[in-house]
Structure 1
Amino acid sequence: MAQSLRPPTRRPAAVQPATRRPDAGRPTSRRPVARPRPFRRWFAQTGWRHLVGVAVVVFAAFPLVYVFSASLNPGGTLITANTLFGNLSLQSYVDLFNRPQQPFAAWYVNTLFIGFSASAGSVMLGALAAYAFSRMRFTGRRFGLITILLVQMFPQLLAMVAIFLLMLSIGEIFPAIGLNSQIGLIMVYLGGALGVNTYLMYGFFNTIPVSIDEAARIDGAGHARIFFTIILPLVSPILAVVALLSLVATLSEFVIASVLLRDPDKQTLAVGLYQFISQETSQNWSIFAAGAVLAAIIPVALFLALQRYIVSGLVAGSVK
């Protein structure tokens, strides 16, 4: 009786090996194949931008190529340089350094000394003034910022006569910083660039949280330690931008340098190169172009080295 109540036992069926389908493991859904856009639609959406970019590059690069071609033309005139790279010669570069009355090497060294000195001074003075306006609260702070902004609306050329008379009077007492002095020219450059650099750095300093200064002040740090060890590393992009802009402006400045510097051995490249084309009887555009090409090497190299700081430094300082 007990044996009849047991459920019948079933033998397990033989397990057969599973056969893998050829499409196993492949995604069931396939991405639709992107069809190429029609030419008219592509040109209306994207193509015209490429044409504009190519046109801008050609427009910007043609003067540079023309000047470089003129520097390799031994003719000495720009008329014979119409055919780009028609005549190739390095004689203009050789003659550039073999003129005792026009010492190009001395001009180059003077330009580097004045440019880097004015650039470093502008960065340091502008950073100190921007830190004071951004972090400190004192009487006349708002008036000082407005005054800096208003003074920059007037070009420095308007004060050319006043600068000449001032340097002439200072030279009678302190000849080292007076007229026909490179130190005096650097001081003039520092005074002219202090306002715009301060206002540019002031906007960037405001983006640095004040809590960093407060934490350092709790640890016992003063304003000088906070500025040199904490703030300056954080504002390195704007320092690079101001240094590059100040250097380019100093290298290309002509009017003030031509008025304050009289001796040929103390002049800069902008003033010295003008001598090659200023006289009607001895115009040599080939040597002038060769000097311009050599003078452009340092600004271009610095721009390529600091280009990653330029956009971030200018944009970050415009948003508070």
Structure 2
Amino acid sequence: MRRWLADTGWRHLVGFFMLAFALFPLVFVISASLNPRGTLTASATLFDGASLDNYLKLFTSPTLPYTRWFANTMIIAGATAVLTVLLAASAAYAFSRFRFRGRRLGLLGLLLVQMFPQVLGAVAIFLLMARIKGVFPGIGLGTQWGLVMVYLGGAMGVNTFLIKGFFDSIPRELDDAAKVDGASHARVFFTIILRLGAPVLAVIGLLAFINTVNEFLVASVILQSPSEHTLAVGLYTLISERLSANWGVFAAGALIGAIPSVLLFRFLQRYIVSGLLRGSVKG
């Protein structure tokens, strides 16, 4: 017994402790979502008096447009993920395959921009989007597409660098062979590079989708109408007032809102390891 504990037993104990540490918050949130009292401290035991009332309120309450918030989040996150992949892949292809003055400086500049905390740009983003609204109302302050534009600008740096590392690992001989057959850069990019780069593109799309679903600060600045809110902003209104905070409905909404991210992660799981490892190669 002592030998087993010394060799492998302690590893099992550490693993069990880490698993319990990771699962407890999730179990606590599930318990809170099933708590009909709508509080976090109404009972000393988990799942005491479990009920589905909080889940029903999400879809039946006339003052709680949860389905609208959910749809807004999926539209914004989906559009951001797709456009982020296309724009970052296009920029990465240029940095990987072309040689031009300022190439390395431009790539370094994209990375340096990511080092500034997002909160520092909140006021600047608000003023910029307010001015844009006066010229292009469809993508200005208070619009979902305006929020997508802000997300796209903030996602270019790290994503471009990661995709470039992956594209650098693709042999240039494939490009040359295609060009000999008369293929243009656009055809090489869309028919060869994007197909071979599917693993890293899946990773970038997944990360962009999850980050958009979870993002709160910029969404709360840009989206002003309750009907335009995302899940993060909409659910915050349920607990923003201390006396009327309903943590049960908040927890239920958060759990349902996490389902698309979990399903997408499960679907793209086989791409994640290979995409991140190959994308980490510096070119």
Of 36, 60, 72, 1:74 maps to 36
CA distance 1:123–1:274, change in 2 (3 Å): same
1:292-303 residue pairs with structure 2 within 5 A? 292-303=254-265
Letter paired with 1:118: T
Of 180, 191, 195, 1:229 maps to 191
CA distance in 2, matches of 1:177, 1:317: 32
Indicate if the aligned counterparts of 1:69 and 1:81 stay in contact, CA closer than 8 A.
no
CA distance in 2, matches of 1:200, 1:46: 37
Letter paired with 1:226: V
CA distance in 2, matches of 1:234, 1:50: 40
Q: How many residues align?
A: 282
CA distance in 2, matches of 1:46, 1:231: 45
User: 1:314, CA displacement in angstroms?
Assistant: 0.7
User: 1:303, CA displacement in angstroms?
Assistant: 1.1
| Deviation by residue 1:76-108 (Cα, 9 ceiling, x = unmatched) | 110025411111111111111223332101000
Partner of 1:116: 78
Of 166, 169, 177, 2:128 maps to 166
Gaps of 5+ in 1: 1-38
Q: Does 2:216 correspond to 1:216?
A: no
Q: Does 2:140 correspond to 1:178?
A: yes
Partner of 1:286: 248
Structure with the larger helix share: 2
Structure with greater Cα Rg = 1
Of 108, 114, 133, 2:95 maps to 133
With 78-87 and 114-123 compared, the bigger mean Cα shift is at 78-87
The structure 1 segments of at least 4 consecutive aligned residues displaced by more than 6 Å after TM superposition are: none
Of 156, 160, 171, 1:198 maps to 160
CA distance 1:264–1:204, change in 2 (3 Å): same
CA distance in 2, matches of 1:81, 1:208: 58
CA distance in 2, matches of 1:223, 1:46: 55
User: 1:109, CA displacement in angstroms?
Assistant: 0.1
SS at match of 2:129: helix
Q: CA RMSD in A?
A: 1.2
Partner of 1:45: 7
Letter paired with 2:71: V
User: 1:229, CA displacement in angstroms?
Assistant: 0.6
Partner of 2:233: 271
1:232-243 residue pairs with structure 2 within 5 A? 232-243=194-205
Partner of 2:49: 87
CA distance in 2, matches of 1:106, 1:294: 13
TM-score (norm 1): 0.86
Indicate if the aligned counterparts of 1:102 and 1:264 stay in contact, CA closer than 8 A.
no
Partner of 2:116: 154
CA distance in 2, matches of 1:81, 1:111: 33
SS at match of 2:215: coil
| Deviation by residue 1:129-175 (Cα, 9 ceiling, x = unmatched) | 00110011111111111111211111222111111000000101111
1:27-46 residue pairs with structure 2 within 5 A? 39-46=1-8
1:8-27 residue pairs with structure 2 within 5 A? none
Q: Does 2:250 correspond to 1:318?
A: no
TM-score (norm 2): 0.97
| Deviation by residue 1:26-61 (Cα, 9 ceiling, x = unmatched) | xxxxxxxxxxxxx33333332222222211111111
Partner of 2:221: 259
Partner of 2:25: 63
Letter paired with 1:246: A
CA distance in 2, matches of 1:56, 1:311: 22
Partner of 2:210: 248
Gaps of 5+ in 2: none
